[in-house]
Structure formats: structure tokens, C-alpha cells
Amino acid sequence: AFVKQVEDLRFVSCNTRKYRHLEDVTSDVAVAPDVEVWTILSSPSFAKRHKAPQENIPKAKEREVTDLLLASLSTLVGGKTNLQDAVLESRLQLWGAAVPLNTWSSANAGVVTTDEAATGFVYDAEHGVGACGDWLLEPSIEGAWESGRRLANWMTQEIANEGEDEKRSVGLPDRVSDQGGRFVANASVLQNSIGSFSR
């Protein structure tokens, strides 16, 4: 869920269900029934205040950032639980280098529309394959999610219209006019960073 109420957080996600299917399997990843797995993403301002070498985060910085994020999560859920004491294991990753500074822009081959449903992803109708991600729409978590949602909707629509002669590719260079796609600078990433959302 995107977070607006707590200054240092931007996104939290309970990932427990991803691992529940492994309970009956002998695996290092199996999760006990009473354990939850969470992903917590900070706000851009929090990340700027707590920069560290991403390849070798100092242990003291890792503990500090983890404790601060857990305290923010505790505030988000009501502030009555000391989550630091409940954590069995944690991992910290700095994603500063993962924020794309550019997004892909193309002529949207085969599509004559300004509808946003036909932007923010790449789809090759000839081969029935597509690609999505923040680098195709908006450099943020929301951009990645929205890109995937648009591609899924487009592919669903293409399957529903399968008997029609016209196949509609999106985001690819136009083979007829030889107009290719290109990366364009995205100014919003300098202000919002990866944990941003527009609504």
C-alpha cells in the first residue's frame, strides 16, 4: 500500500502469502505459520538523510535505518507495538542507483491514439509478447505498477479481439516509417525518487 500518513514511509507490502506455499516443502525460505514477511520502502527525503555506500552498508547505519523504518511502521499501524523486538530477520537494500533518470518514448507503432491505455509499456502483437516497468512510464513504484497494469489490460483486450485482422503493437519502432523509440529525460525523478506516487 502506498503511504501518505507517515513522513518517512512511502510503501509497505505484506509478502507472507508469497512464501506460505513453501510450508510443506523442505526449504530455507519456508515461513512458519505465525511469521509475517514485510517489505518497507522509505520516502525519498528519508533516503537522502540516510545515504550510505550501497555495496557495503556500515552495520551501525544498517541498524539505525532499520530501527527508524520499523518505528515508522509501528506509527503507521497504531504505535502500540515495538516492532524492533518482533523482528526475526531483516535485510536492508539501498536502491538509489536503481532509479531510472530516463523513460522510453516511441511512436507507438500501429496505434493511432492519445489514450493513456496505449502508453507506458511495449507490446509486440506479431509475437504476443510485452515488457513493462518504471523505465517505460514514470520512474517510481507507482510507475512500474501502472505500466504492468496497462500491459495486462492491453494483452487482455488483444486476446478478446483475436479474430480481428489488425494486430496492434505498442511502443515499438515503426517499421514502415523507420521512426525509432528513444529515451527521454524525466525531471520528476529528481524531485520524487523511487518511492513517489502522484495521487
pLDDT in tens, 131-185: 998 888 887 778 888 999 999 999 998 888 877 767 778 887 765 555 556 556 6
pLDDT in tens, 101-134: 667 776 554 444 456 778 889 998 888 899 998 8
Using CA atoms, how far apart are residues 71 and 164, in angstroms rounded to an integer? Answer: 55
In sign, the C-alpha dihedral spanning 57, 138, 134, 4 is: positive
Using CA atoms, how far apart are residues 83 and 80, in angstroms rounded to an integer? Answer: 9
pLDDT in tens, 15-67: 887 766 555 555 555 556 778 888 888 887 888 888 888 778 899 999 999 99
**What pTM value is reported for the model?**
0.52
Q: Is 78 left (phi over 0), alpha (psi -120 to 50) or beta?
A: left
Q: What is the dihedral of CA 21, 27, 29, 32, to 10 degrees?
A: 60
Contact between 187 and 103 (Cβ < 8 Å): no
Number of residues assigned to the chain: 199
Using CA atoms, how far apart are residues 69 and 9, in angstroms rounded to an integer? Answer: 7
